[in-house]
Amino acid sequence: MSYSILYKSMFVKTKRGLIPMAQIGDNNVWECDNHRRARNWTNLKLDGEKKFFTHNEILSCLECWNNSYRKKLEKDLVSTDEWKRSGRSFGFYEAISISGHHTTGTTFNQVKNLIMYGEKVAVSLEYAIQCLGLYFSYYEKKDGDEFGNRQTLYIKSENDFYKLIDGEFKNKKFWIGYNEYSADKFYDLQKAVSGLLSKRMGRKQKYGWGQPRDYIIECAKRGEEGLNWYVKSDGNTLSLTQNIREAHIFNKQKVGKLGVSDIIFDIFSDEINRLHFEYQFQQILDSLSL
């Protein structure tokens, strides 16, 4: 059985709305070296050729998808089909799965949560163009061609993007894509940053995959405004920064094989004690003022 696999999602924020983008591939298609299944970043077709959505419109499209699945289920249910009633048959009926799951264990909520996570780590249109290699992909059929040839047009600027959307591509079927390597790398960074910001007094966040593992290291948090300190590396010099985007992504090899605890509690022991003292002291002051 052929089915689609959803791996990641990372939307694009534009002045006209969100473009829901996801990394998706086919279970039967493998890369040339056969080490992993082929996949690419593309815009999700939630409503025909519609490209721009509001948050609520995306949710509405997903619910329509779920309702369609339930109608198929109602026609097919028999008394012994308990696994279908549980909702785990969504992937089976819709021929889709989440990375690491089989279709018969994929629920609607799993698919929905993966897709909607893309809004949490969304990037600006400017960043997508400049750093993620945003492009339009389409088929061009010339005289004598039976199927047409796939063409790729890389976007140069935001003005270029809207000019093409409103002009040459207004009535043309096309897909929007990211450069695979750039998007994968930035998604992992966004996820790591998002993980740190959502944790209370987080110490570290794994980044990427493989060995040795990379980390963003968070040292302290002060006050409700979320004033955080992170480890920054300039060559062989380590320092602290409040800008998470300046935080260095590194592994032990890149910092003289020092561990995370060595960096936090040995190199920055005085700074960390001071930061945490100020944090605790501010908490005491806040409690006294209530």
Counting residues of the chain whose pLDDT is more than 70, the rounded percentage is 67
Q: What pLDDT does 226 receive?
A: 55
Lowest pLDDT segment from 58-67, 82-91, 112-121, 215-224? 215-224
Which segments within 27-154 are labelled E, that is strand?
40-43, 96-98, 123-124, 135-140, 149-154
What radius of gyration, in Å, describes the C-alpha atoms of the chain? 23
Tell me the two tokens of residue 269: 């022991």
Cα gap 16→176, rounded to integer Å = 15
Number of Cβ within 10 Å of residue 189's Cβ equals 20
CA dihedral 90, 92, 96, 102 (to 10 degrees): 110
34: confidence class by pLDDT, cuts 50, 70, 90: low
pLDDT of residue 277: 46
Confidence bin at 42 (pLDDT 50/70/90): very high
For the chain, what is the mean pLDDT? 78
Is the pLDDT score of 250 beyond 80? no
**In this predicted model, what pLDDT tens digit does every residue of 201-245 receive, in sequence order?**
444 555 555 555 566 676 665 544 556 777 777 665 667 777 777
> Residue range 51-59: average pLDDT?
97
Report the pLDDT averaged over residues 99-118: 91
Peptide bond before residue 212 is cis, with ω within 30 degrees of 0: yes
The answer to whether residue 290 scores a pLDDT higher than 50 is no
What pLDDT was estimated at residue 52?
Answer: 97
Mean pLDDT computed over 36-54: 93
